[in-house]
Structure 1
Amino acid sequence: MLSHKQTERLLAVSRYYYQDNLSQIEIAKKMNLSRPTVAKSLQLARDTGIVTVQINDPFTDGAKLQQALKEKYHLKDVVIAQQVNHDEAGIRDHLGAVAADYLDTIVTTGMTIGLNWGHTMLAVAQHLHASQAQDVQLVQLKGSLTNSAETNYSAEITQQFNHAFHTQARLLPLPLVFDDAQVKAAALHDPFIQRVVQTGYQADIALFTVGTTRNDALLFRSGYLTADQITTLQRDAVGDILSHYITASGEIADPQLDQRTVALPLSHLGTQKYAVLIAGGEPKLRAIHAALLGKYANVLIVDQAVAKQLLKL
């Protein structure tokens, strides 16, 4: 019978090998073991049932998973990115590639695409292909981090979308959060701003993700929120959509903060022909579930692991 220490070592070796795709030599260096010890550990993990091998036919199981998610959340389309590991950056990259391929299938001449910013959208932008569609419009769906040292990759994302779709995006040159709701309302009355906002309302495609309420969340690091506000959001919210913080059931978590936030209202999200939620990784599971409960998306692009967990919620 294996000791607790032996079991922990087998688990660690197995995760590095099967989930993170490290070679036996890389694992040996990482764990300060010999390569033969790593090989024996992998075999022992198989022999003791710690690791089991299951072959999933993507033409049956994948299709069933997609259909189950469509039915559960009343979605028009579900795309599941292949799971290579549980590294958040790796998951984002695969989601970005899948989302870029999906855009090729839905963007047609004369469409308007609404854009979000952040790490996930950057991954999409980096995988875009030159589109054959003509007269495509791009528009930002929310304000920017104007008073923060943090980068939201907005410039890089816009540049790459402009290049792929042979156009110039309409920017929303306002801060993401105003100190006062009345000041925000006054800014939105500007004729130029109104035209940009109206274009966002009329978008055929909305591309967006969800954020978390972890301490390292971009908006928490931006300086827009006080420590007390962050604590309250971490208690009441599961994440954000276009910087609108939502509860576990998909409702606005802080109405007063929401009135000061410059972004397409959630009441207008989900009405687009394609409201595409692109998100994955276990830390975003609850926020993805809440966004789907709120019916803010009609298309979901997600990784395999989260797709399976969503069905269990």
Structure 2
Amino acid sequence: MMLSQKQTERLLAVSRYYYQDNLSQVEIAKKMNLSRPTVAKSLQLARETGIVTVQINDPFTDSARLQQALKDHYHLKDVVVAQQVNHDEAGIRDHLGAVAADYLDTIVTDGLTIGLNWGHTMLAVAQHLHASQAQNVQLVQLKGSLTNSAETNYSAEITQQFNQAFHTQAQLLPLPLVFDDARVKAAALRDPFIHQVIQTGTNADIALFTVGTTRADALLFRSGYLTAPQIQRLQREAAGDILSHYITPTGAIADPELDQRTVALPLDQLGRQKYAVLIAGGEAKLRAIHAALLGGYANVLIVDQAVAKQLLEL
């Protein structure tokens, strides 16, 4: 639309009064001796002709602001918010895996020790690893395995791909994830070789882990280690698990007796690492991520954009 100079000047005046001086349409009408409908039409025409453009600055889409807000909110040393590619759980995991692999490139240096978790999210990380230039990197498993289950935890695939990327051989923890008797577990941990692996994990510079849910299809619930009443109680009282330690919504141990029988880096040791990196996303894991952060078990968070926003609303 072609505007005369007079029309343009009127649109500019109306727009400045409205957007810069915060005058109402009624006040502008009185000031310029116009009708209120004329002022309204002028504001609309100013937008249609490009004299006025509206920009909405949503802080939640600004990754830097969102990351800083999460750092402040949960007292973290670092946060990486992955751009939202979709809301599909498998797609979110894959994207988080790629982002986490890139992040590892920035923090792994010569002589560091990396503690590994297993599961779907860690598999996604392993699949996106790049060949590292760092020398003398050590890898160690942070928890036992599903020795009596038909379910796969991808431990072998994860370990193999990390070994290839970091040109090393991981120290394995050849114990079941859960013992029937805490005394038997305590005896097993006294074995010199097992004790050495546990100590290496405790002293790791980087711990990579995720959180699990208490949904019926959770891997640990399908593993055969837990009874039906135990599962039902955990679904009532726990927000999820970290390294197979079930935690309450506030981050406390949900089942101390079960925890005494679980072979994994103790939660009171997690978070002391230079980089305790929690990699998790998807709305199903929101409660578990929040609980893990409240418990202080992570100092680095890698999360998708949608969950990052929801965390700040909790």
Taking the aligned partners of 1:169 and 1:84, their CA distance within structure 2 comes to 33
| Aligned position for 1:254 | 255
Q: In the superposition, relative to structure 1, how do residues 55 and 127 fare at CA in structure 2: closer, same or farther (>3 Å)? A: farther
Taking the aligned partners of 1:107 and 1:57, their CA distance within structure 2 comes to 34
Taking the aligned partners of 2:113 and 2:85, their CA distance within structure 1 comes to 33
| Aligned position for 1:235 | 236
Taking the aligned partners of 2:259 and 2:238, their CA distance within structure 1 comes to 13
| Aligned position for 1:105 | 106
State the structure with more CA Rg.
Answer: 2
Taking the aligned partners of 1:223 and 1:57, their CA distance within structure 2 comes to 46
| Aligned position for 1:310 | 311
Q: In the superposition, relative to structure 1, how do residues 163 and 55 fare at CA in structure 2: closer, same or farther (>3 Å)? A: farther
Letter in 2 for 1:286: R
| Aligned position for 1:158 | 159
Taking the aligned partners of 2:223 and 2:252, their CA distance within structure 1 comes to 23
Letter in 1 for 2:276: A
| Aligned position for 2:210 | 209
Helix, strand or coil at the partner of 2:268: helix
Matches within 5 A, 1:107-186: 107-186=108-187
TM-aligned CA deviation for residue 249 of structure 1: 0.1
Displaced runs of 4+ in structure 1, greater than 2 A? Answer: 54-60
Taking the aligned partners of 2:60 and 2:74, their CA distance within structure 1 comes to 22
Unpaired runs of at least 5, structure 1:
1-53
| Aligned position for 2:274 | 273
Unpaired runs of at least 5, structure 2:
1-54
TM-score by length of 2: 0.81
Letter in 2 for 1:220: F
TM-aligned CA deviation for residue 310 of structure 1: 0.2
Taking the aligned partners of 2:174 and 2:217, their CA distance within structure 1 comes to 25
Taking the aligned partners of 1:162 and 1:133, their CA distance within structure 2 comes to 13
Letter in 2 for 1:149: A
Q: In the superposition, relative to structure 1, how do residues 285 and 59 fare at CA in structure 2: closer, same or farther (>3 Å)? A: closer
Letter in 1 for 2:213: T
> Identity over aligned residues, as a percent?
87
For the aligned residues, what is the CA RMSD?
Answer: 1.4
Q: Does 1:66 pair with 2:55? A: no
What is the aligned length? 260
Deviations 1:98-150 (A, max 9, x none): 00000000000000000000000000000000000000000000000000000
Helix, strand or coil at the partner of 2:241: strand
| Aligned position for 2:28 | none
TM-aligned CA deviation for residue 62 of structure 1: 1.1
Q: In the superposition, relative to structure 1, how do residues 60 and 148 fare at CA in structure 2: closer, same or farther (>3 Å)? A: closer
